[in-house]
Structure 1
Amino acid sequence: MNETIITLLGYISIILILLLMLAGYRSAITFSGKKKGLKFQADGSDVPELGQRLTRVHANAVECFSFIGGTLILAIATDSTAITNGLAYVLLLARVLQALVHLVSTSNVAIQVRFVFFLVQFGIVIYWVFKLLQKFL
């Protein structure tokens, strides 16, 4: 197994962990009587602030999977992991740090820090796409 595969598995694991956390949080709110019924707004607007942040962290991870996961899968499928292996763990670390900062705070400084971690991921994927295009064009 190489860095690209481990990173893809790590990213999928993050999404699953966040989903379990969200389900647990929503269940706790329901069972504590703070919310009646099992219907929740998709954006988390009907739960306390932590629930809203957790909802957004999960949604953001899923939203970004299309370009991050897609690029990792493309590299694996085309035997091009030599292109992605070098920065794969950096990307995964940036994803984890972005999620943690988002869970901890929504202050202006935290938002800027989160954006830096997003830019790291975005920049890495842009670099990978450029290298993959070079390989196949």
Structure 2
Amino acid sequence: MSTSALVLTLFIAWALFLLVLMEGIRSYLVLSGRAKSNEFKPDNSNLSPFLQRLARAHANCIESLPVFGGLLLVAMLTSRTGLTDTLAPWLLFARIAQSITHLVSLSIFAVNARFFFFAVQLTIAVYWTLALLAR
């Protein structure tokens, strides 16, 4: 398995982890009688601030998966993972760091750090796009 394929799989696994965590907490709330199963809003806006951030962190992963995952797939399908393998782990690191920062805080420092991690991902994606188009 190429590094790009591994990173794509781990990216999906990260999004799945966030979803399982959110649904696990929601299930606990229902089973403990703290919430009714038909009361959940997609953004968790009627729940704790942490659960709201968790919903948004998961949505961020899902929103970016077509772009970042798509570029990794193009590289794999065209046998050009040499273009993506080196930076793919950095993309994954930046994605996970962005999510964790989102979960931990909404302070100005945390929001700026989260943007930095997102900017790293964008920079990598733009580079990959140009590199894949150039060859």
The residue aligned with 2:30 is 30
The residue aligned with 1:75 is 75
Count of equivalent residues: 135
The residue aligned with 1:58 is 58
**Partner Cα distance (1:38, 1:16) in 2:** 22
Aligned 8 A contact 1:43 1:56 in 2: yes
SS class of match (1:86) = coil
Task: Write out per-residue CA displacement over residues 1-23 of structure 1, whole angstroms, 9 at most, x where no aligned residue.
Answer: 12101110110100111110010
The residue aligned with 1:120 is 120
**Partner Cα distance (1:106, 1:25) in 2:** 20
Q: Offset of 1:37 from its aligned partner?
A: 2.6
Aligned 8 A contact 1:30 1:38 in 2: no
User: Please, which runs of 5 or more residues in structure 2 have no aligned partner?
Assistant: none
Aligned 8 A contact 1:30 1:37 in 2: yes
**Partner Cα distance (1:124, 1:26) in 2:** 35
Q: Offset of 1:44 from its aligned partner?
A: 1.4
User: Please, which runs of 5 or more residues in structure 1 have no aligned partner?
Assistant: none
**Partner Cα distance (1:40, 1:126) in 2:** 37
The residue aligned with 1:105 is 105
SS class of match (2:41) = coil
Task: Write out per-residue CA displacement over residues 12-66 of structure 1, whole angstroms, 9 at most, x where no aligned residue.
Answer: 1001111100100111111222212344111110111111011011011000101
TM-score if structure 1 supplies the norm length? 0.95
The residue aligned with 2:40 is 40
Q: Could you say which structure has the higher helix fraction? A: 1
SS class of match (2:86) = helix
